[in-house]
């Protein structure tokens, strides 16, 4: 469901015309198809001198993934990706050569190519030089992502807490950023820590990372929830689809499509968490993943906001998630992976959405606070913040506002529900246990917010 403008400027005579007129030409993004290569061409791995051992380890892993890996820039390749490893760079001058090596191949980066940085987070104990170098990489990546064209993206892995560049979680993140699964993730820096003590941290089957796992998806009758249920099932999970009784038809359709079970449940019910757990244990024997996707809009300027509009949005989008999480933690569910749907409206704010903005910023707040609680049981809590996604919800936005929402990003288009679903599946995977308490934006590097 690419939008019609993107279709027009990428096909036939209108493609030629739009080129001549110099109109913005959003690219057709490459999306994951089983069996296709990880990248669209060879991968160049470059580093500063001190980070060479980490770069070697990354290159070795890429070879194991069947990728054509090169260590020197050259003119003969149409690059699929460039990985810049600067984990041990200590002074700003250390990164210059490696960064300029990235620059030297950008003109030959293939459409839908990838640039991924691997660096370490600046911390309070760093010397000013070290902190400048580490923080500098973040600014470099965000700016570079805005220079890339033709569906190419730039994202960064920021190692924290002494995590190794070749830890399971860091490599799973590298794979995600390189792959077509992250088509609409752009300009993002994701902190990746070491696996907490006692947490399962073993390599997983890249094609079916969720095999044997049981996942619940709320709001699964339509929109993004359907895509999440399908993507988790594709990755091997048994999926419990939850939605309100009024959406029973769509709910049954999704559950049938994914070979899962349907649970008609209003997530605002006092005992929603307990009922989800009972259903999971009685029908599937376990519960591993919870995706808080159900959400509503009741847009109004605050001056016109009725109590029921404020209350409904906070009850569905926020209070339900708090209650369900509390009940699952109380029951001591081990290794639980919680993924909550936030929104860039919760980061940047949006006129007419004080209630929605409160609820989505609240989701980010509780995700950070829930992370250490769930980590004690070997689990994680993360949030996905979508930007403009092509759904029934966004089709109802007035045309001019909708068009602005689509184009105001580095990728100059809206994302698809599957883009959000891929990010959810990535965060639900057993391989990403070192990513905890984070917010991953799926927004094509929207101009809104940071």
Active site residues: 356
List binders of ligand NAD among 181-220 (CB under 6 A): 218-219
CB 116 within 8 A of CB 190: no
Q: From its phi and psi, is residue 112 left (phi > 0), alpha (psi between -120 and 50) or beta? A: left
Q: Looking at beta carbons only, is 42 or 417 nearer to ligand NAD?
A: 417
- Please, what is the end-to-end C-alpha distance for the chain in angstroms? 27
Q: Looking at beta carbons only, is 194 or 386 nearer to ligand NAD?
A: 386
Under rule CB under 6 A, residue 221 binds ligand NAD? yes
Q: Near ligand NAD by CB under 6 A, which window of 99-107, 123-131, 294-302, 331-339? A: 294-302
CB 37 within 8 A of CB 69: no
Q: Identify each DSSP E strand in 31-108 by its residue range.
A: 43-47, 69-70, 79-85
The DSSP call for residue 212 is: T
Instruction: Please report how close the Cβ of residue 291 comes to ligand NAD at its closest, in angstroms.
Output: 10
> Given candidates 158, 262, 267, 421, which one binds ligand NAD under the rule CB under 6 A?
267
How is the beta sheet containing 238-243 ordered, strand by strand?
261-264, 238-243, 214-218, 289-292, 337-341, 380-386, 439-442
Q: Which long-range contacts (CB under 8 A, 24 or more apart) does 141-148 make?
A: 141/115, 141/117, 141/187, 141/189, 142/187, 142/189, 142/445, 144/102, 144/115, 145/115, 145/186, 145/187, 145/410, 145/445, 146/187, 146/410, 146/445, 147/106, 148/106, 148/109, 148/113, 148/115, 148/186, 148/410
Q: Near ligand NAD by CB under 6 A, which window of 70-78, 94-102, 260-268, 395-403? A: 260-268
> Site for ligand NAD (CB under 6 A): how many residues?
28
Under rule CB under 6 A, residue 321 binds ligand NAD? no
Under rule CB under 6 A, residue 427 binds ligand NAD? no
Under rule CB under 6 A, residue 424 binds ligand NAD? no
Q: Near ligand NAD by CB under 6 A, which window of 115-123, 240-248, 299-307, 373-381? A: 240-248
Instruction: Please report how close the Cβ of residue 428 comes to ligand NAD at its closest, in angstroms.
Output: 15
CB 117 within 8 A of CB 86: yes
Under rule CB under 6 A, residue 316 binds ligand NAD? yes
Instruction: Please report how close the Cβ of residue 112 comes to ligand NAD at its closest, in angstroms.
Output: 22
Cα dihedral value 336, 337, 338, 344, nearest 10 = 170
Instruction: Please report how close the Cβ of residue 252 comes to ligand NAD at its closest, in angstroms.
Output: 12
Under rule CB under 6 A, residue 446 binds ligand NAD? no
Instruction: Please report how close the Cβ of residue 280 comes to ligand NAD at its closest, in angstroms.
Output: 16
> Given candidates 142, 222, 284, 406, which one binds ligand NAD under the rule CB under 6 A?
222
Under rule CB under 6 A, residue 268 binds ligand NAD? yes
Q: Rounded to 5 degrees, what are φ and ψ at 392?
A: -60, -35
CB 261 within 8 A of CB 276: no
List binders of ligand NAD among 10-29 (CB under 6 A): none
List binders of ligand NAD among 358-417 (CB under 6 A): 386, 388-389, 391-394
CA pair distance 48, 94, nearest whole angstrom: 6
Q: Looking at beta carbons only, is 104 or 314 nearer to ligand NAD?
A: 314
Q: Looking at beta carbons only, is 115 or 227 nearer to ligand NAD?
A: 227
Under rule CB under 6 A, residue 224 binds ligand NAD? yes
- 176, two tokens: 């995600």
**How many CA within 13 A on the CB side of residue 4?**
4
> Given candidates 343, 353, 355, 410, which one binds ligand NAD under the rule CB under 6 A?
343
CA pair distance 235, 79, nearest whole angstrom: 28
Beta pairing, strands 238-243 & 214-218: parallel
Instruction: Please report how close the Cβ of residue 443 comes to ligand NAD at its closest, in angstroms.
Output: 9
Q: Looking at beta carbons only, is 201 or 266 nearer to ligand NAD?
A: 266
Under rule CB under 6 A, residue 223 binds ligand NAD? yes
Under rule CB under 6 A, residue 290 binds ligand NAD? no
Binding footprint of ligand NAD on the chain (CB under 6 A): 218-219, 221-225, 242-244, 247, 266-268, 293-296, 316, 341, 343, 386, 388-389, 391-394
């Amino acid at each position: 469901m690419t939008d019609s403008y993107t279709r027009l400027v990428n096909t036939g005579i209108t493609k030629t015309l739009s080129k001549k007129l110099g109109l913005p030409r959003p690219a057709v993004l490459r999306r994951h198809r089983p069996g296709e290569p990880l990248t669209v061409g060879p991968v160049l791995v470059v580093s500063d001198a001190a980070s060479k051992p980490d770069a070697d380890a990354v290159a070795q892993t890429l070879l194991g993934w069947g990728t054509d890996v090169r260590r020197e820039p050259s003119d003969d390749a149409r690059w699929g990706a460039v990985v810049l490893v600067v984990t041990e760079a200590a002074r700003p001058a250390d990164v210059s050569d490696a960064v300029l090596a990235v620059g030297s191949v950008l003109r030959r980066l293939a459409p839908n190519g990838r640039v991924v940085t691997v660096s370490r987070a600046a911390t309070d104990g760093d010397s000013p030089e070290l902190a400048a170098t580490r923080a500098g990489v973040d600014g470099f990546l965000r700016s570079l992502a805005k220079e890339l064209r033709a569906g190419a993206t730039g994202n960064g892995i920021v190692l924290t807490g002494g995590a190794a560049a070749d830890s399971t979680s860091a490599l799973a993140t590298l794979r995600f950023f390189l792959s077509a699964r992250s088509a609409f993730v752009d300009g993002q820096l994701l902190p990746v820590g070491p696996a907490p003590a006692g947490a399962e941290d073993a390599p997983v089957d890249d094609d079916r990372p969720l095999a044997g796992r049981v996942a619940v998806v709320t709001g699964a009758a339509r929109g993004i929830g359907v895509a999440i249920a399908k993507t988790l099932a594709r990755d091997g999970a048994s999926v419990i689809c939850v939605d309100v009784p009024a959406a029973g038809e769509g709910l049954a359709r999704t559950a049938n499509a994914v070979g899962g079970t349907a649970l008609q449940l209003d997530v605002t019910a006092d005992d929603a968490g307990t009922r989800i757990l009972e259903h999971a244990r009685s029908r599937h024997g376990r519960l591993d993943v919870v995706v808080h996707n159900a959400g509503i809009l009741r847009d109004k300027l605050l001056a016109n906001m009725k109590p029921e509009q404020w209350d409904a949005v906070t009850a569905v989008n926020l209070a339900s998630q708090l209650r369900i999480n509390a009940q699952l933690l109380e029951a001591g569910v081990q290794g639980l992976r919680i993924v909550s749907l936030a929104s860039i409206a919760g980061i940047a704010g949006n006129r007419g959405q004080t209630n929605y903005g409160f609820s989505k910023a609240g989701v980010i707040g509780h995700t950070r606070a829930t992370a250490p609680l769930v980590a004690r049981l070997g689990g994680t809590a993360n949030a996905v913040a979508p930007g403009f996604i092509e759904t029934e919800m966004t089709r109802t936005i007035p045309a001019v506002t909708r068009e602005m929402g689509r184009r105001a990003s580095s990728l100059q288009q809206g994302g698809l529900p599957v883009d959000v679903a891929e990010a959810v599946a990535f965060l639900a995977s057993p391989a990403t246990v070192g990513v905890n308490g984070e917010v991953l934006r799926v927004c094509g590097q929207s101009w809104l917010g940071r």
